């Protein structure tokens, strides 16, 4: 606690009452993305500690069963081999299904607010 932390957020897609964001960690602190998202007024879906319970309940109805947080890209330096290691992974099937449900609500014009 008390240590500086920086997260850069980038808007990717908007849905009815929700947004898909990318977070770039400049520093690496415990719960950093979750705390910064909550502080900005946009808590992560499924976050029981820092999130919005009404919003979480809504997303559970759409099939969300865990924190909506996915590491799609990670890069680090392998000091021993003097090279950068890059890893990427697609969004998991469970989270893709939630996004599909959000898209359906958006297409139907259901701009439901949390709750």
**b/e 78-97 (16+ beta carbons within 10 angstroms → b):** eeeeeeeeeeeeeeeeebee
**pTM, whole model, 2 decimals?**
0.82
Q: Are the beta carbons of 42 and 19 closer than 8 angstroms? A: yes
pLDDT, average across residues 61-74? 96
* Number of residues assigned to the chain: 115
Q: For residue 17, what is the enclosing H or E element?
A: none
How does pLDDT run across 9-52, given as a tens digit for each residue?
999 999 988 999 999 999 888 899 999 999 998 999 999 999 99
Tokens of 100: 């599909």
Domains plus CATH for the chain?
A: 7-107 (3.30.2350.10)
Q: Are the beta carbons of 91 and 102 closer than 8 angstroms? A: no
């Amino acid at each position: 606690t008390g240590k500086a932390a920086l997260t850069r957020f980038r808007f990717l897609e908007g849905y009815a009452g929700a947004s898909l964001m990318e977070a770039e960690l400049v520093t690496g602190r415990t719960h950093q993305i979750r705390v910064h998202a909550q502080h900005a007024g946009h808590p992560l879906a499924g976050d029981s500690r820092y999130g919005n319970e009404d919003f979480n309940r809504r997303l559970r109805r759409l099939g969300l069963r865990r924190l909506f947080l996915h590491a799609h890209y990670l890069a680090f330096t392998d000091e021993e081999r003097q090279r950068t290691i890059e890893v990427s992974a697609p969004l998991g099937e469970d989270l893709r299904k939630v996004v599909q449900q959000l898209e359906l609500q958006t297409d139907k014009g259901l701009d439901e607010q949390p709750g």
